[in-house]
Amino acid sequence: MSTILVTGGTGYIGSHTVVELMREGMEVVIVDNLSNSNLEVLDGIEAIAGKRPHFEEMDLRERDATYRVFEKYAGVDAIIHFAAFKAVGESVEKPLAYYENNLLSLIHLLEAMDRYGVDHMVFSSSCTVYGEPDSLPVTEDSPIKKATSPYGNTKQICEEILQDSQASSPGKGLISLRYFNPIGAHPSAMIGELPSGVPNNLIPFITQTAIGIREQLSVFGDDYNTPDGSAIRDYINVVDLARAHVKAIRRLLEKRQKQAYEVFNLGTGRGLSVFEVIRAFEKVTGQPLNFRVVDRREGDVEQVYADTTYANTELGWKAEIGIEETLLSAWDWEKYIRSKS
């Protein structure tokens, strides 16, 4: 049985991935400092997967603490590295905290891999590395644009660190997964996204408006050069996304990589506008959403969606869950967390 160390495994995408790994019979060790998640997530994972993953509360910014995890769980076969700070706006306010957390955590893990003989890692990257793309859909070969935020820059630097680290150590197999816009929750509604404070992202803002926590959704701009004027993104269901990680882990463990450092886009291949998302949400929930159009949000790109051919053919992965089912899962999750509070 393979043992996978999942950093940030109590977080949003990490928790869904842990469930999929456990369903595939893999042993999971989660490490998380709970800076953006809580221990109740472990109950949700256990309820879905029928088993509780190992859990260590620790901070990857501490090298010795990182090493201690590898000493305690000898025999880790691969790492999935989710742990990071991820709020674009906050990264502009606190750039050093972002560089410290996102870069140091990765460096400590790579050092631990060398020291304890772990050869494989899957890394959480983002389509933010493409910035405003010159042409659509975006392939893995599309140019990397200068980052528009310290957060985005940490993802670009981390990808470079991975590439350099792999080049210096040919035995290592590394994969960066560039997520487009992950949304939704597990269909059981037992795990999902827990945004702290006022959500920055579209879907949590929609569900919080629909349930009455927020008065009105602001649509950031209707004067883009798109069919209905609102911005376009590639919204990918979090369970579909989680399953891609299982495929990436298998590819590494079975040594099926074409190159020792690989990059995959993870999206649906389909762009949806903000108005299309609102309409789909209203349709599945049956209730009108209170929204108004305001100015564009600074730093937003007009449109971005993935060419997923490489992930389809090489990983054998394809997004399968449709937007309506996904929005319904986000809505079910919102209702569940509010019923608990």
By CB under 6 A, what part of segment 201-260 binds ligand UFG? 201-202, 205, 217-220, 231, 233
- Answer yes or no whether residue 180 interacts with ligand UFG by CB under 6 A: yes
- Answer yes or no whether residue 337 interacts with ligand NAD by CB under 6 A: no
By CB under 6 A, what part of segment 184-203 binds ligand UFG? 200-202
Residue 331 region by backbone torsions, left for phi larger than 0, else alpha for psi between -120 and 50, else beta: alpha
Residue 219 Cβ, how far from ligand UFG at the closest point, in Å?
4
Pick the closer one to ligand NAD by CB: 88 or 260: 88
Q: What are phi and psi of 57, to 5 degrees?
A: -80, 110
Residue 60 Cβ, how far from ligand NAD at the closest point, in Å?
4
- Alpha helix stretches (DSSP H) within the chain: 12-23, 40-49, 63-72, 88-93, 95-116, 150-168, 202-211, 238-253, 274-285, 309-310, 323-340
- Answer yes or no whether residue 126 interacts with ligand UFG by CB under 6 A: yes
Parallel, antiparallel, or unpaired for β 261-266 and 173-179?
Answer: parallel
> Active-site residue 151, yes or no?
yes
- Answer yes or no whether residue 35 interacts with ligand NAD by CB under 6 A: yes
- Residue 40, token pair as written in the block: 């109740």
- Answer yes or no whether residue 82 interacts with ligand UFG by CB under 6 A: no
Q: What is the per-residue binding string for ligand NAD in 206-235, x denoting contact by CB under 6 A?
A: ------------------------------
Q: How far apart are CA 311 and CA 288, in angstroms?
A: 36
Partner whose footprint covers residue 13, from ligand UFG, ligand NAD, none (CB < 5 to 8 Å by kind): ligand NAD
Pick the closer one to ligand UFG by CB: 71 or 223: 223
- Residue 272, token pair as written in the block: 């949806």
Partner whose footprint covers residue 156, from ligand UFG, ligand NAD, none (CB < 5 to 8 Å by kind): none
Which member of 2, 124, 149, 285 binds ligand NAD (CB under 6 A)? 124
DSSP 107-175: HHHHHHHHHHT--EEEEEEEGGGG-S-SSSSBPTTSPPPPPSSHHHHHHHHHHHHHHHHHHH-TT-EEE
The single residue of 12, 98, 130, 151 carrying the catalytic annotation is 151
- Residue 33, token pair as written in the block: 């400092």
Q: What is the per-residue binding string for ligand NAD in 5-34, x denoting contact by CB under 6 A?
A: ---x-xxxxx----------------xxxx
- Residue 187, token pair as written in the block: 């269909």
Q: Is 301 exposed, middle or buried (0-12, 13-18, 19+ CB in 10 A)?
A: middle
Number of neighbours of residue 161 by Cβ within 10 angstroms: 16
Pick the closer one to ligand UFG by CB: 147 or 284: 147
By CB under 6 A, what part of segment 142-181 binds ligand NAD? 179
The three-class DSSP label of residue 235 is strand
- Answer yes or no whether residue 112 interacts with ligand NAD by CB under 6 A: no
Closest CA to 32 of 45, 51, 50: 45
User: Which positions are annotated as active-site residues?
Assistant: 151
Write out the residues near ligand UFG by the rule CB under 6 A: 86, 88, 126-128, 179-181, 200-202, 205, 217-220, 231, 233, 274, 297, 300
Write out the residues near ligand NAD by the rule CB under 6 A: 8, 10-14, 31-37, 59-61, 82-84, 86, 101, 105, 124, 126, 179, 182
